[in-house]
A and B are shown apart, each in its own frame.
Chain A
Amino acid sequence: MTSTPVVQAEGLVRSFGGRRVVDAVSFTLRAGDCLALFGPNGAGKTTLLRLVAGLLAPAQGTVRVNGVSIREGAAARAQVGLVSHASMLYGALTVRENVELAARLYGCAEPSVAAHAALALMGVEDRAETPARTLSRGLQQRVSIARAMVHAPRLLLCDEPYTGLDDAGSAALTEVLTERREAGAALLLVTHNLTEGLALATQAAIMRRGRFVRHEARELLDPSSYQSQYRELAAVHD
C-alpha cells in the first residue's frame, strides 16, 4: 500500500495556442508529502494543477493517482480535492448545500454529517444556512476549502488557498492541511507566499515558463537564502 505513490506525474505537456504552457513536468508525491510550488504569474502553475486534477487533458504524459491514470475514468478523481482560484460555489445555494453537494458527488456515506464536520473544521458552521453569494470573499474561500476536504481526499490540490483569508482562516487552513498530511494525504500547494509554503512543504519547486527550474526536498534548502534565489529565478526577462 505505501509503495504506491499518491500521485505520479510524468512528462506532462500542455499547449495553448501553440505555446507550451506546461513543458515536460514530472514529480512524485507519497503519503505525507507536500510539494510547495512557486513561480511568477503565467508560469503554468494553474494549468499544471488542472492537469493533475483531471480537468485538462495533457498533450503528452500521464498523471496517476494511487496508481490509476486520472484520465482513465471517473473513479480516479474520487481521491482528489481541489481548491482553485474561483470559489466553485453556487451562489444561490447555502453554504451547507454547497458542501453537501460535493459530499454526495464524491460518494460520502453520510453527506450531511461529513459536510457539517468539514464546515466546523474551517470555522464556518455558523453560516451554514446562508446563501454562498452573501458571504465575503474570505469566508467563501473557507467554504471552498471545506468543500474540497469533505470527502477526506488523499490528494489535495490547492491553488493559492491562502488568498483572502484572515489570520484565523489561515491558521485553520494550515491546521487542516497539516492534519491531512499526517493522515497520509499528499498536498500540492501553489502559493506566492514562500513562508507559508515552506512551512508545510516536504518538497519545493519553482516553475517558470512551463518547467520546473528548481525542484528539491525541503530539508536540502535554506529558507533564508531561498527567498532571494527565488526572486532571481522568477524574474522574467523576455
Chain B
Amino acid sequence: MGEAPGTLAASWIVARKDLAIEFRTRTAFLSALVFALLGVTIFYFAWDATAVAAADLAPGVLWVIFTFAGLLGLQRSFGSELADRAIDGLLGAPISREAIYLGKALANLVFVSGILAVTIPAVVLFYNLPFGPGIGALAGIAALAAVGLVAVGTLFSAMAVNTRMAELLLPMLSLPFFVPIVMGAAQSSARLMAGRPIAEAWPWLRILVAFDIVFVTACTLAFPYTLDE
C-alpha cells in the first residue's frame, strides 16, 4: 500500500469524484445554464431600451444572474454525500477535513465557470457589448468572483444540507456575503468595458481579491466545525 494522499492530492480526488457524479447526470448543470440564459433574456425585456442602453445594463444583469445560477449549482453540492452516508466514507479516509472542503469547492468552481463560459458570451451578444480589451478583463473578473462565490457557497451548502429548509436557507445565508462580490465585479467590469482606465476599476478589484483571500482562508478553517464530530 502506498502513501495516503496529501491535502492537495486528496482535494483533487474529491473534486474529480464530484465532477464525475455531476457529469453522469448533468441535470443540475443544464438547469442552471438554462436558468442563466433565460434570466439574461428576461432582463433585457424588463427595461426600456430607449431609456437605458443595453450595454450599460449588461454588467449588472450578468453578475446578478451569475449569483443566482451559482446558487442553483451550490444547492446540489452536498446532496450526494448525505444520501447513503457517503460522507462517512470521506471522513473515515486518511484525508484531512480541509481536503473535503477544497475538493468540493473546486468542483463547484468548475461548475460555475462552465456556466459563466456560456453566459458571458450570451450577454456580450444580447446586450451588444463592444468587443475590446474589456472582454478579456471580464474573464479575469469572472474568475475572481467565481472563487469568492464558491468559497462561501460551499461552506454554507455544507451547513444548509443538514437542515429542514435547505433550499431557502442557502440563499438567505449566502446572499449577504455575495454583495461585495457582485458590487466589486459589476462596478469594475462596467468601468473596464466602457473603456475607462484600469485605475478606476482598481479599488473594486482590490475588494474582490481581498474578499477571496479572506474568505477562502476563513471558510477552509471553518469547515471542520460544520461536521458532526
Enumerate chain A interface residues (CB-CB to B < 8 A).
Answer: 53-57, 74-78, 80, 82, 84-93, 97, 101-102, 104-109, 131, 147, 151-152
Contact = CB atoms under 8 A, between A and B. Distances in A.
Contact of A92 (B3, B25, B89, B92): B25
A87 B39 CA distance: 40
Contact of A102 (B5, B89, B91): B89
Given A82-B92, A101-B17, A87 B229 contact: no
B21 A74 contact: no
Given A93-B20, A97-B20, A104-B5, A74 B96 contact: yes
A88 B96 contact: no
Contact of A84 (B10, B17, B88, B228): B88
B1 interface: yes
B85 A84 contact: yes
B94 A108 contact: no
Counting chain B residues whose Cβ lies within 8 A of the other chain, the interface size class is 20 to 34
A107 B2 CA distance: 5
Contacts of A84: 85, 88
B10 to A, nearest CB: 7
A106 B86 contact: no
A97 to B, nearest CB: 7
Contacts, number: 95
8 contacts: A55-B88, A85-B85, A88-B89, A92-B80, A105-B10, A105-B93, A106-B94, A152-B1
A180 B185 CA distance: 57
Contacts of B175: none
Nearest to A55: B91
Give 7 closest A-B pairs by Cβ, nearest first.
Answer: A86-B85, A78-B94, A105-B93, A107-B4, A109-B2, A88-B89, A74-B94
Contact of A105 (B24, B88, B90, B228): B90
Interface of B: 1-5, 10, 13, 17, 20-21, 24-25, 80, 83-86, 88-96, 228-229
A107 B83 CA distance: 25
Contacts of A109: 1-2
Contacts of B4: 74-75, 78, 105-107
Nearest to A110: B2
Contacts of A76: 94
A93 B17 contact: yes
A90 B1 contact: no
Given A93-B17, A107-B4, A80 B92 contact: yes
A75 B1 CA distance: 13
Given A91-B83, A92-B25, A107 B89 contact: no
Contacts of B91: 54-55
Contacts of B21: 90, 92-93
Contacts of B228: 56
Given A56-B229, A74-B96, A147 B1 contact: no
